[in-house]
A and B are shown apart, each in its own frame.
With several copies, the nearest count.
Chain A
Amino acid sequence: MSSTADVPADVPVEEFAARARAWLAENMPPADPTAGHFFFTDTSSRSDDHDLVRIDTCRRLQRLLHDGGFAGICVAPEYGGQGLTPAHQAAFNRELRGFDHPIEIQASTFIPCMAVLLEFGTEEQKLRHIPPMLKGEAIWAQLLSEPSGGSDAAGALTTATRDGDQWILNGSKIWTTGAWYSDWAMCLARTNWEVEKHRGLTVFALPLRTPGLEIHRIELLNGSVEFCQEFLTDVVVDDRDRIGDVDGGWTVMTRWLHHERTISGGSPYVTSTGRSHNAPNDGPRLAAVARELGTVDDPRALEIIGEARALTLVSDALVSSVTRKMQTGELPFHAAAMSRLFSGTSQVRKAALALELTGADGVMWEPGDDQRAGVGQSWLVRQAACIGGGTTEMARNVIAERLLGMPREARRDDGAFRDVPKGPR
């Protein structure tokens, strides 16, 4: 459709990669090796304007990819994509190394939102929503978790009540990454309280700037204000923005959650090198801190730096191995919980190692000393790595029950959702 370079669907991967290489070199700016992640960076010294500038850059980079014929590589041409294969996307991602790219808007917008639309959307919904996503015009967020929810996605209390061709939504959602700058959202709501909890849910799409929807920023312990909480009061959604069947939301959710998990690798819809440059508390970062403190030659400092680096290398090896084994069928897809568990706990351990390296110098620092501030702040917020995107506790449950086949935990939520205990009587 709108791509400037039309590629035949059967273009060999190598040829495609060569073209991508040339195009990237000519069009894409280099990556900034000092740029960190949003999430683990103390934003207390960073303004919203700074973040908005970056988001605008992401929108422009996404448009650039789109116009170059490299957006939605595995998406059908009728929705603005290239109609190629996962191997083409993987090749492009390899070529992308060293280049800036719209990494911050890949999650949420493309996985799970676009992926879910491709599977469950009506033709009308796909034609309406996917092209703006691929052009960087529409950034999507996920209205999924709820303040009461904890680890139980199916326990949503946010309610959608039918009113003719419309639905009226009331409730609250939380842990929405970047809702404050996003355009649209996919939202899970309860449409039936009289049935078992999984059977009374429905998914909707809705614009984030809409009457009755208030967005609050949540401040994390490292000063980050990237996450939001939303309060929905009589928010009106058209029935044509419903994704999937009424009360069929859990069918959608199963795939939603699956696509969300592919963020660590394996999704055909993500344009990313898969490398988190400047991972916090990895060996090289700790080596830089130790250099600043003048301890880099101490045996204990070397041991700490090495242990941190070992965790990264082992974690990478584990994630690759599990991903490969899931692809070959050697492991079931629940095995992804092992990657989630290991990367969560190893990030926590690395934050502890960083503080061990610095001691008193990690709990206070001169203003502007970002190295040391990073140690202290990321230590404070470290459990986020074992909470966000499904807790490590849930991952352990999945491994035990699904991968190892151990007996399931007793549940008290298998009757009508209205009657499920939700707190002390």
Chain B
Amino acid sequence: MFAQSEDQQVFESTSARFVESQYPAERVRALARAEAVFEAPLWREAAALGWTTLLVPESAGGGSLSGNGLADLLIVASLFGRHAAPGPLFGTNLVARALGTWGSADQQAGPLAEILAGDAVAAWGHRSACTATRSSTGVVVSGRVRSVESAADARYVLVSVDEPEGRSHVLVPLAAPGVALTPLKGVDQTRRFWDVTLDGVTLPGAAWVGAMGAAAEHDDELLDVASVLALGEMAGALHRAFAMTLDWVANRYSFGRPLNSYQEIKHRMADLRTQVEAAEAVAARAASLVGSGSGSGSGSGSGRALASAGMAHVGRHGPEAIQDCIQLHGGIGVTNDCDLHLFLRRTVLDANLYGSPAEFARRLGRLVVAQGVAG
């Protein structure tokens, strides 16, 4: 879907084969009911395919295919969407991006290398309400981080904390004393989340990631990247739900006619097809701009604007589009017997996890307003 260059096409087909063989629908359905969804050996294989390195500079052990690692990673995100695949793709890459860009040499040699190799999973604690105080040996962090993906499987979580110099990032090992996890339930049964409580967790001074006071700005950059990944996953899920529905309306008969001969249904399929194309188009453009570094600009045509526009638009219309696919399926569509729900769950999660469509619209609105009359 998103592969352009020959390198990307090879990467797409290798990755697709891996996802298809490891996560056929029956396996995803089984995992939805399983206690745990993470499988460490599989993730190491995934890392060997290159899924963990794309957002990291070569100097820090990473490397992209096309020069725009986010455009490359978009290919994997879209495959995840097409198959409702489980796996710590987002958090691991986001933290790798953070450590690769802002991490110290020690952090790159240590945690980042573990992440790149697929030995460690990481999570981005984007809903953090934590504070830090300095101690003689380092820093003591307390607070709550909500909705942390894969927390029980992850070795590290990147958390922004309020400290005297502003808001800064620390890398918290989840095995540290004082860390407690509360499992959450949710709409997507194969992506698992935990609330993480930090109660006086003591970290060395070397735990800071990036310049002190830079966390708000860095979180904003990570949000751009996360948005592109979510857009890719939603585009993949939409694509698949649409294809299933196109097939269904061709093969299902009512009153002696196939459903797809009814004009009202034809028009809805036309709308859905257009929404699928729009989702793919804005995902690709956002990846192109954010991944090439236009993401941190604040102009209303910048990468940040495109990422926010995509999340505002696809986040609103994508879940609605899959609901319409369900409606077109009739009763079977609202049951677990029909795979559509896998894509519905994945899409509505992505559409809200990092902020609601309304919040992304406001984010874009602020960019527009800040740009002034020039438009």
Contact = CB atoms under 8 A, between A and B. Distances in A.
Interface string B337-375: 100010011001100111110111111111111010111
B183 A367 contact: yes
A168 interface: no
Residue from A321, A383, A404, A407 with most neighbouring chain B CB atoms (10 Å): A383
A224 to B, nearest CB: 9
7 contacts: A283-B300, A284-B371, A310-B308, A337-B270, A364-B187, A399-B274, A406-B249
Interface in B241-270: 246, 249-267, 269-270
B266 A360 contact: no
Given A314-B282, A356-B356, A396 B270 contact: yes
Nearest to B336: A219
A348 B334 CA distance: 13
B267 A302 contact: no
A410 B257 contact: yes
Contacts of B368: 283-284, 287, 305-306, 309
A7 B320 CA distance: 54
A355 B305 contact: no
Residue from B263, B271, B312, B369 with most neighbouring chain A CB atoms (10 Å): B369
Nearest to A286: B368
B300 A366 contact: no
Given A305-B364, A306-B363, A314-B282, 15 more contacts: A219-B336, A220-B335, A305-B365, A310-B310, A318-B274, A320-B281, A321-B284, A359-B356, A360-B355, A364-B147, A396-B264, A399-B270, A400-B267, A407-B266, A422-B256
Contacts of B312: 306-307, 310
B269 A310 contact: no
Nearest to B360: A306
A74 to B, nearest CB: 27
A310 B313 contact: yes
Interface of B: 127, 147, 182-188, 193, 195, 246, 249-267, 269-271, 273-274, 277-278, 280-282, 284-285, 300-301, 305-306, 308-310, 312-314, 320, 323, 326-327, 330-337, 341, 344-345, 348-349, 352-356, 358-369, 371, 373-375
Nearest 3 CB-CB pairings of A with B? A284-B375, A412-B256, A306-B365
Interface string A376-389: 11011111101110
A98 B162 CA distance: 46
Interface in A387-415: 387-388, 391-393, 395-401, 403-404, 406-407, 409-414
Contact of A380 (B187, B355, B365): B187
Contacts of A174: 331
B147 A383 contact: no
| Chain A interface residue bracket vs B | 35 or more
A1 interface: no
Residue from B186, B264, B334, B363 with most neighbouring chain A CB atoms (10 Å): B334
Contact of B313 (A314, A366, A382, A409): A314
Contacts of B369: 287, 290, 296, 302, 305
B147 to A, nearest CB: 6
A420 B256 CA distance: 6
Given A283-B365, A310-B312, A338-B273, A288 B373 contact: yes
A164 interface: no
A407 B341 contact: no
A257 interface: no
Given A317-B306, A383-B327, A409 B262 contact: yes
B313 to A, nearest CB: 5
Nearest to A375: B187
B337 to A, nearest CB: 7
B255 A152 contact: yes
A355 B348 contact: yes
A391 B333 CA distance: 12
A309 B335 contact: no
A282 B308 CA distance: 16
Nearest to B149: A364
A145 interface: yes
Nearest to A408: B261
B270 A363 contact: no
Nearest to A362: B352
A163 interface: no
B375 to A, nearest CB: 3
A251 B280 CA distance: 35
B290 to A, nearest CB: 13
Given A364-B147, A406-B266, A283 B273 contact: no
A318 B278 contact: yes
B341 A306 contact: no
A422 to B, nearest CB: 5
A287 B368 CA distance: 7
A302 B257 contact: no
Contact of A384 (B280, B334, B341): B334
Given A151-B254, A306-B308, A360-B147, A403 B282 contact: no
A372 to B, nearest CB: 9
B268 to A, nearest CB: 9
Given A219-B335, A421-B257, A300 B358 contact: yes
B25 to A, nearest CB: 16
